[in-house]
Chain A
Amino acid sequence: ETGVTQTPRHLVMGMTNKKSLKCEQHLGHNAMYWYKQSAKKPLELMFVYNFKEQTENNSVPSRFSPECPNSSHLFLHLHTLQPEDSALYLCASSPETGRHEQYFGPGTRLTVT
């Protein structure tokens, strides 16, 4: 185990649903990240939080809304998703942003129907 947990592990939702992904890290880190991993594509960085402040938003559609209430928890709120949003969503954390190793959670496998 890497010290980063994600729930749920699997999620199937319709295009009109609203759901949230949760990430929790037990490593005392201050930076947390959301990534999208699609089949046969490299990991795509979505959002970065450092000390609870969002520092990166890589042109992610507004149907994805992150929330970081404290340094240990990160949420990804989902609404009106499209089938092409189906992917593995990975959360990661690191001591801070910068040249630090990132520790990844197991991911949430999302299917949009």
Chain B
Amino acid sequence: KNQVEQSPQSLIILEGKNCTLQCNYTVSPFSNLRWYKQDTGRGPVSLTIMTFSENTKSNGRYTATLDADTKQSSLHITASQLSDSASYICVVSDEYSGGGADGLTFGKGTHLIIQP
């Protein structure tokens, strides 16, 4: 059964500090992995998408890494800001569905709080 596990479940850090969120998956065969940011009361917004051949992808202060051999991904946030407070969701797509919605496996998310 395809699974996506995220850690930690929640995290509190001070403004200006860095942090790293983890995503481990068992989805096979792998198609792509996305990180979403979901602000409270809003829908998820895509931060990055990575395919099998990509190891690192950046979006401003957000940097995602992917190790397809160990089936692990991380999202690193640099110089955190209060606006980074949100849930971060890892979503992995399998090849069987052609990457379609029925082949998406969602993690439960990491709830990040940035304190001033």
Contact of B43 among A56, A90, A94, A99 (CB under 8 A): A90
Please report the number of residue pairs spanning A and B whose Cβ atoms sit closer than 8 angstroms: 59
B102 within 8 A of A: yes
Of A12-20, A37-45, A64-72, A74-82, which binds chain B?
A37-45
Residues on A with C-beta less than 8 A from B32 are 99
Beta-carbon contact of A56 and B101 below 8 Å = yes
Which of B41, B93, B100 counts the most A-chain CB atoms under 10 A from its CB? B100
- The interface size of chain A toward B, counting residues with CB under 8 Å, comes to 27
Beta-carbon contact of B104 and A2 below 8 Å = no
A99 to chain B, nearest CB (A): 3
Residues on B with C-beta less than 8 A from A102 are 46, 101
B49 within 8 A of A: yes
Given A41-B108, A99-B93: A48 touches B102 (CB 8 Å cut-off): yes
Beta-carbon contact of A106 and B41 below 8 Å = yes
B59 to chain A, nearest CB (A): 13
Question: Measured between alpha carbons, how far is A89 from B102 in the docked complex, in Å?
Answer: 17
For the complex of A and B, 6 pairs with smallest distance between CB atoms: A104-B43, A99-B99, A42-B106, A43-B106, A97-B100, A98-B98
